[in-house]
Amino acid sequence: MNKIFSPEQIQGIVPPLVTPFAADGSLDEQALRETTRFMLDQGVHGLVVGGSSGEGYTLGVDELRRITELAAEEIDGRVPLVAGVIANSTRDAIAKAKAVSSLGVSALQVTPAHYIYKTDDASMLRHFREIADETDVPILIYNVIPWNYLSPSLLLQAMREVPGVVGVKQSAGDLKALADLLVDARPTDRIFAAVDALLYPCIALGAHGVISILTTAVPSALVQLWDAVKRGDHEFGRDMHARLLRLWNALYADNRVATTKYALWLQGAPTGHTLRPVAAVTPAQKAAIRKALAGVLPNASLRADD
């Protein structure tokens, strides 16, 4: 079994792994293994499977289990592995959590239910409590659903009142919410940033780590940024922030799973296909991504387009 890390050991740059699919929509297992190795070679501090960047919203229970199993084999205990649980009901979330809980995952990254409806606070707490009751794997709440967005006060309440909920991945571009969480969190709470346009200030504010699609697109650059802020080199941090923001602006679109896969492919990772109906990367997007990526990784040898 893969090594289990404590919640306090999940820190730094923890990219969500993309899921390489074959043209027929099946999982490309060899490409997944190679992409996992690529990410590890960039010096990342952990990996997430089945997140938004990994098209986790499309994955069935068996697919998520297989992806987790393959990633765990490649990681082989070197860094923490987090499994994403994106589901529309407590029942389905529990099924996914149970499917991966024996595979050496150090935490679950769990979204609120997300099909059009807003869940009241009591029901949301019950959702996470019931998932936690069914598995002994720590839970990170993935606060990303626009119409079911959880307030900092509710997130803090969940971490204090629901045994097993140990942290939050704060998404949706809300730096204020991240700051509120960091100010009022207990020392044992884990607060992760996913505010892609503002990762430098997120790290400078004290986020325990970054789990975001930009860390997937350029893991080595984010490791450099993390290390720079930790050693107090804010001049480098501000410069890297500007370069990363240009790349984020090139990646950001409704097909950003595909644009992110393209950025990784340029660096040599076999990222495979993206499931339909997500649109393919356009020629204009490719040109913008290539230009911005060269600014972030000036010494990299980027692939030529076919």
What was the pLDDT predicted at 117?
Answer: 81
Percent of the chain predicted with pLDDT > 70: 100
Q: What's the rounded mean pLDDT across residues 206-213?
A: 98
Does the pLDDT value for residue 138 go beyond 90?
yes
Does the pLDDT value for residue 146 go beyond 90?
no
What was the pLDDT predicted at 66?
Answer: 98
What was the pLDDT predicted at 261?
Answer: 98
Does the pLDDT value for residue 116 go beyond 80?
no
What was the pLDDT predicted at 1?
Answer: 66
pLDDT by residue (tens digit) across 147-205? 889 999 999 999 999 999 999 999 977 899 999 999 999 999 999 999 999 999 999 99
Assigned superfamily of 7-231:
Aldolase class I (3.20.20.70)
What was the pLDDT predicted at 264?
Answer: 98
What was the pLDDT predicted at 3?
Answer: 92
pTM of the model: 0.96
Confidence band, pLDDT 50/70/90 cuts, at residue 209: very high
Average pLDDT, the chain: 96
Q: What's the rounded mean pLDDT across residues 95-119?
A: 93
Confidence band, pLDDT 50/70/90 cuts, at residue 72: very high
Percent of the chain predicted with pLDDT > 90: 94
Confidence band, pLDDT 50/70/90 cuts, at residue 59: very high
Residue-range domain boundaries for the chain: 7-231
The count of other CB atoms within 10 Å of the CB of residue 48 is 31
